[in-house]
Structure 1
Amino acid sequence: MKGIKLLALFLFSTAFFSFTPLKKKYIVIDAGHGGNDSGVVYGEFSEKDISLKIAKKIQKISENQSRYEIILTRNTDSPSSLSERTAQINRLSPEMVISLHVNGSPQEETPNQGTEIFVQNSEQSKKLAGKISGKLNARTIEGRNLHILRETQSPAVLIELGFINNTRDREYMTSEKGQQEIAQKFVEVFNEY
């Protein structure tokens, strides 16, 4: 009888501890702009819409392909201040923060094209930027004193995904195929990090 009780206790303990949740690991995706703040605009396309669509695709792909839980700073066309976003991020204490943006220049059509990555001044952020650059073939990685980078306590990068007023970049960033490919590349970075 004593042996059966010990066996039952052992099985219960094993089952209980095997289902005890581990500390979740988060990645925050900040879809730049939102609400009245459209960011850069070209015709019917706006930075706030492009960044949000790609952020949602990253979250969806990650559900099946990543060990991280993806948290979006916004998942609708809603405004939030930079200080609200960084406060939200710092409460979560994520593994990393990716702030998605779209570049623009004063010309109607610019020859400039490609991804640019901006980092805070930390080794972890620089390492993350290097991994992202390898996947997205970024044209530059630079240190910048930007609020989201400066005020976020986790490793953070701000990514300009391309130029809205460069035909090739715009067509890629606004197409379903292009957005899916960009999102997939981010998930691959997460899995290698």
Structure 2
Amino acid sequence: MKGINLLAISIFSTAFLSFTPLNKKYIVIDAGHGGNDMGSVYGNFSEKDISLNIAKEIQRINESQGKYEVILTRDSDSSPTLFERTDQINKLNPEMVISLHVNSSPKAETPQQGFEVFVQNSEASKELADKISKKFKARTIEGRNLHILRETKASAVLVELGFINSAADRNYMTSEKGQQEIAQKFVEVINEN
């Protein structure tokens, strides 16, 4: 009887371990803002909702196409602090971090348009920023002293997905088609690594 139990445990352990990846590699998508922090707002549209919808879409598309596991810093209308976000990120030690945001132009009558990429000062982050910039034809890549970039140990970029007060940008990033296209491009960038 003892031998049968040991054999059963041995078979179970072997089967379980063969399906458990030993070296999981993570990508973290940080959906900016959340909870009471709306971020940029235009009419009924808010940065916190747009960034979360696109983050979830990246995670969904990546499940069937990706070689990494995508982890979100928030998957609901919650508001983790910047310190909580970077603490979570650093514990995971991901391959890369992409923080999603939505811009707002101070020139309401002639708002700016397009993606912008902000980066921390590391070669790996600059390479990631360059790939994203080319994929989305971003307006700029700039170094910025932002908490999520400064305190994250992994390669990290902050991407402004467009300007909420630009009708063209807003219509694209709030539409189902636009969100799917944006997410698909991020998944392609992620899996180029």
Q: TM-score, normalised by structure 1?
A: 0.90
Distance between the aligned counterparts of 1:20 and 1:84, measured in 2?
28
The Cα shift of 1:16 comes to: 8.1
Mapping 1:75-94, distance limit 5 Å: 75-94=75-94
Aligned identity (percent) is 76
Distance 1:130 1:83 in 2: 26
Conservation of the 8 A alpha-carbon contact between 2:100 and 2:160: yes
Q: Tell me the residue number matched to 1:107.
A: 107
Alpha-carbon contact 1:102-1:161 (below 8 Å) kept: yes
How far apart are residue 123 of structure 1 and its match? 0.1
Q: Does the 8 A contact of 2:31 with 2:99 survive in 1?
A: yes
Unaligned runs of 5+ in 2: 1-13
Per-residue deviation, residues 2-26 of structure 1 (Å, max 9, x unmatched): xxxxxxxxxxxx9787545231000
Q: Which runs of 4+ in 1 moved over 4 A?
A: 14-20
- Provide the rounded CA distance (Å) in 2 between the counterparts of 1:35 and 1:18: 40
Q: Deviations over 1:106-164 (max 9, x none)?
A: 23343410000000000000000111111111110010000000000000000001000
Which residue matches 2:5? none
- Gapped regions of structure 1 (runs ≥ 5): 1-13
2:56 aligned partner, one-letter code: K
Match runs of 1:1-193 below 5 Å: 18-19=18-19, 21-193=21-193
Aligned-partner Cα distance in 2 for 1:20–1:71: 17
Cα distance, 1:85 vs. partner? 0.4
Q: Flag the structure with larger Rg.
A: 1
Q: What is the RMSD computed on CA atoms of the aligned residues? A: 1.9
Number of aligned positions between the proteins = 183
TM-score by length of 2: 0.90
The answer as to whether partners of 2:111 and 2:163 remain within 8 angstroms in 1 is no
- CA 1:147–1:16 in structure 2 vs 1: closer, same or farther (change >3 Å)? closer
Residues 40 and 103, structure 2, Cα contact 8 Å, conserved in 1: yes
Shift of residue 184 of structure 1? 0.1
SS at match of 2:135: helix
